[in-house]
Structure 1
Amino acid sequence: MIVGTAGHIDHGKTALLEALTGQAGDQRREERERGMTIDLGYRYAALTPGAPLTGFIDVPGHERFIHNMLAGAQGIDLVLLVVAADDGVMPQTREHLAIVELLGIARALVVISKCDRVEPQRVQEVQTQVSVLLAAGPYAGAAPFMVSSVTGEGIEPLRRALLAAQSEVSQRSREGGFRLAIDRAFAVAGAGIVVTGTALDGRVQLGDTLLLGKAGKPVRVRGLHAQNQPATEAHAGQRVALNISAERLQLEQVHRGDWLLAEWLHAPTQRLDIELQLLASELRAFEHFSPVHVHLGTQDVTARVALLQGEQLLPGARMFAQLLTNAPLQAVHGDRLVLRDQRAQRTLGGGRVLDPFAPARQRRSEARLAQLQALASADSLEQALPALLACDDGGLDPQRLERQFNRLRSSWQLPANAQVIATRQGPLLFTREHWQALQNSVLEGLARFHTQEPDQLGPDRDRLRRFVALALERPAFISLVDELLAANRMSSSGPWLHLPEHRIRLSDADALLWSQLQPLLVDGAFDPPWVRDLAKALSVDEAEVRVLLRKLGRLGQVHQVVRDLFYPEATIRQMAAMLLQLASDDPVVQVAAFRDVLGIGRKRSVQILEYFDRIGLTRRVGDRRQIRADNALAQSPGQ
Structure 2
Amino acid sequence: MIVGTAGHIDHGKTALVRALTGIDADRLPEEKRRGITIELGYASMPVAGSESISFVDVPGHEKLVRTMVAGASGIDYALLLVAADDGVMPQTREHLTILSLLGVRRGAAVVTKIDRVDEAVAAQREAEVRALIAKEGLVDWPVLRVAALRGDGVEQLRELLVAESANATRPADTHAAFRMPLDRVFTLSGVGTVVAGSIAAGSVCIGAQLCLAQAPQHVLRVRGLQVHGAALEEAGAGQRCAVSLASLGREEVERGQVLCDPAIAQQSDRIDVWLRVAAIEEAPLRSGALVHLHIGTQEVMASVAVLGQPALAPGEEGAAQLVLRQAICAWQHDRFVLRDASAARTVGGGLVLDAHPPVRYRQTPQRLALLATQRAPDAMARLAGALAHSPLGVNAAQWLRDAGLVSWPVELASLHDPVITKDSEWIIGRPAMEAAQQTLLAALADFHERSPQEVGLELRRARRQAAPRMEDALWLSLVDNLRESGQVGLRGSFLHLPAHGEQLRAADRVVAERAMPLLIEGRFDPPWVRDVAASINLPEEQVRQVLGRLAKTGEIFAIVKDLYYPPRTVLELAQIARTLGKNDASITAAAFRDATGLGRKRAIQILEFFDRVGMTRRVGDDHLLRPGTQLFAQEESV
Structure 1 residues 595 and 437: alpha-carbon distance in aligned structure 2, compared to 1, 3 A threshold = farther
The offset of 1:245, in angstroms, is: 0.8
Tell me the equivalent position of 2:472. 474
SS at match of 2:499: coil
**Per-residue Cα deviation, 1:578-611 (whole angstroms, up to 9, x for no partner):** 9xx9xxxxxxxxxx98986999899997887677
**Counterpart Cα distance in 2 of 1:262 and 1:74:** 20
Tell me the equivalent position of 1:128. 127
**Counterpart Cα distance in 1 of 2:521 and 2:219:** 62
Structure 1 residues 456 and 572: alpha-carbon distance in aligned structure 2, compared to 1, 3 A threshold = farther
The offset of 1:348, in angstroms, is: 1.1
The offset of 1:173, in angstroms, is: 3.8
SS at match of 1:523: coil
**Counterpart Cα distance in 2 of 1:602 and 1:7:** 87
The offset of 1:638, in angstroms, is: 6.0
Equivalences, count: 598
Contact 1:172 1:236 in 2 (8 A): no
SS at match of 1:68: helix
Tell me the equivalent position of 2:45. 45
**Counterpart Cα distance in 2 of 1:597 and 1:442:** 47
The offset of 1:300, in angstroms, is: 0.9
Contact 1:420 1:427 in 2 (8 A): no
User: Which 5+ residue runs of structure 1 have no aligned equivalent?
Assistant: 582-591, 614-623
**Counterpart Cα distance in 2 of 1:391 and 1:438:** 14
Structure 1 residues 508 and 110: alpha-carbon distance in aligned structure 2, compared to 1, 3 A threshold = closer
Tell me the equivalent position of 1:59. 58
Contact 1:458 1:554 in 2 (8 A): no
**Counterpart Cα distance in 1 of 2:101 and 2:64:** 18
Matched, 1:15 2:15: yes
Contact 1:173 1:201 in 2 (8 A): no
Contact 2:178 2:201 in 1 (8 A): yes
Structure 1 residues 442 and 538: alpha-carbon distance in aligned structure 2, compared to 1, 3 A threshold = closer
Contact 2:530 2:540 in 1 (8 A): yes
The offset of 1:289, in angstroms, is: 3.2
What one-letter code is carried by the residue in structure 2 that aligns with 1:30?
E
Structure 1 residues 594 and 11: alpha-carbon distance in aligned structure 2, compared to 1, 3 A threshold = farther
Contact 2:380 2:409 in 1 (8 A): no
Tell me the equivalent position of 2:244. 243
SS at match of 1:323: strand
Tell me the equivalent position of 2:28. 28
**Counterpart Cα distance in 1 of 2:42 and 2:514:** 91
What one-letter code is carried by the residue in structure 1 that aligns with 2:61?
H
Structure 1 residues 177 and 291: alpha-carbon distance in aligned structure 2, compared to 1, 3 A threshold = same
Contact 1:20 1:155 in 2 (8 A): yes
**Per-residue Cα deviation, 1:430-461 (whole angstroms, up to 9, x for no partner):** 34455445434422321222112222111111
Determine which of 546, 550, 553 is the counterpart of 2:548: 553
**Counterpart Cα distance in 2 of 1:270 and 1:28:** 35
Worse-matched range after superposition: 234-243 or 319-328? 319-328
Structure 1 residues 515 and 17: alpha-carbon distance in aligned structure 2, compared to 1, 3 A threshold = closer
**Counterpart Cα distance in 1 of 2:60 and 2:569:** 75
**Counterpart Cα distance in 1 of 2:450 and 2:169:** 64
User: Which 5+ residue runs of structure 2 have no aligned equivalent?
Assistant: 593-602, 616-624
Structure 1 residues 271 and 605: alpha-carbon distance in aligned structure 2, compared to 1, 3 A threshold = farther
Tell me the equivalent position of 2:145. 146
SS at match of 2:215: coil
Tell me the equivalent position of 2:194. 194
What one-letter code is carried by the residue in structure 1 that aligns with 2:417?
A
Worse-matched range after superposition: 37-46 or 19-28? 19-28
Worse-matched range after superposition: 50-59 or 103-112? 50-59
What one-letter code is carried by the residue in structure 2 that aligns with 1:229?
A
**Counterpart Cα distance in 2 of 1:573 and 1:288:** 65
**Counterpart Cα distance in 2 of 1:274 and 1:172:** 26
**Per-residue Cα deviation, 1:531-588 (whole angstroms, up to 9, x for no partner):** 9xx8799999xxx97996566434525799899486658489969x99xx9xxxxxxx
Query: TM-score, normalization: structure 1?
Result: 0.83
The offset of 1:370, in angstroms, is: 1.8
Matched, 1:489 2:484: no
What one-letter code is carried by the residue in structure 1 that aligns with 2:129?
V
**Counterpart Cα distance in 2 of 1:291 and 1:547:** 69
Tell me the equivalent position of 1:396. 394
What one-letter code is carried by the residue in structure 1 that aligns with 2:224?
G
Tell me the equivalent position of 2:226. 225
Tell me the equivalent position of 2:84. 85
Tell me the equivalent position of 1:294. 293
Structure 1 residues 308 and 625: alpha-carbon distance in aligned structure 2, compared to 1, 3 A threshold = farther
Contact 2:511 2:546 in 1 (8 A): no
SS at match of 1:418: coil
**Counterpart Cα distance in 2 of 1:94 and 1:389:** 41
The offset of 1:209, in angstroms, is: 0.6
The offset of 1:142, in angstroms, is: 3.2
When Rg is computed on C-alpha atoms for both structures, the one with the higher figure is: 2
The offset of 1:496, in angstroms, is: 1.4
The offset of 1:50, in angstroms, is: 4.9
Matched, 1:279 2:278: yes
Contact 2:257 2:297 in 1 (8 A): yes
Q: 1:416-427 alignment to 2 at 5 Å?
A: 417-423=416-422, 426-427=424-425
Determine which of 445, 455, 458 is the counterpart of 1:457: 455
The offset of 1:168, in angstroms, is: 1.9
Structure 1 residues 606 and 307: alpha-carbon distance in aligned structure 2, compared to 1, 3 A threshold = farther
Structure 1 residues 79 and 626: alpha-carbon distance in aligned structure 2, compared to 1, 3 A threshold = farther
Tell me the equivalent position of 1:69. 68
SS at match of 2:45: strand
Contact 2:519 2:564 in 1 (8 A): no
**Counterpart Cα distance in 1 of 2:395 and 2:91:** 44
What one-letter code is carried by the residue in structure 1 that aligns with 2:118?
E
The offset of 1:312, in angstroms, is: 1.2
The offset of 1:468, in angstroms, is: 2.1
SS at match of 1:409: coil
The offset of 1:38, in angstroms, is: 0.7
**Counterpart Cα distance in 1 of 2:394 and 2:626:** 32
Contact 2:523 2:569 in 1 (8 A): no
SS at match of 2:97: helix
What one-letter code is carried by the residue in structure 2 that aligns with 1:390?
A
The offset of 1:346, in angstroms, is: 1.8
Contact 1:546 1:564 in 2 (8 A): no
Structure 1 residues 461 and 72: alpha-carbon distance in aligned structure 2, compared to 1, 3 A threshold = same
**Counterpart Cα distance in 1 of 2:146 and 2:98:** 24
**Counterpart Cα distance in 2 of 1:626 and 1:320:** 55
The offset of 1:428, in angstroms, is: 2.6
The offset of 1:165, in angstroms, is: 1.2
Tell me the equivalent position of 2:315. 316
**Counterpart Cα distance in 1 of 2:522 and 2:73:** 73
Matched, 1:341 2:340: yes
The offset of 1:203, in angstroms, is: 0.9
Worse-matched range after superposition: 165-174 or 555-564? 555-564
Q: Percent identity?
A: 35
Tell me the equivalent position of 1:386. 384
Contact 2:194 2:242 in 1 (8 A): yes
Q: 1:580-619 alignment to 2 at 5 Å?
A: none
Structure 1 residues 97 and 567: alpha-carbon distance in aligned structure 2, compared to 1, 3 A threshold = farther
Tell me the equivalent position of 1:584. none
Tell me the equivalent position of 1:97. 96
Contact 2:25 2:42 in 1 (8 A): yes
SS at match of 1:39: coil
**Counterpart Cα distance in 1 of 2:604 and 2:91:** 76
The offset of 1:471, in angstroms, is: 5.5
SS at match of 1:200: coil
Structure 1 residues 481 and 35: alpha-carbon distance in aligned structure 2, compared to 1, 3 A threshold = same
**Per-residue Cα deviation, 1:112-161 (whole angstroms, up to 9, x for no partner):** 11222223332233223222322221323534212112211121111111
**Counterpart Cα distance in 2 of 1:11 and 1:407:** 40
Structure 1 residues 625 and 254: alpha-carbon distance in aligned structure 2, compared to 1, 3 A threshold = farther
**Counterpart Cα distance in 2 of 1:296 and 1:594:** 63
What one-letter code is carried by the residue in structure 1 that aligns with 2:25?
G
Structure 1 residues 45 and 522: alpha-carbon distance in aligned structure 2, compared to 1, 3 A threshold = farther
Q: 1:322-337 alignment to 2 at 5 Å?
A: 322-337=321-336
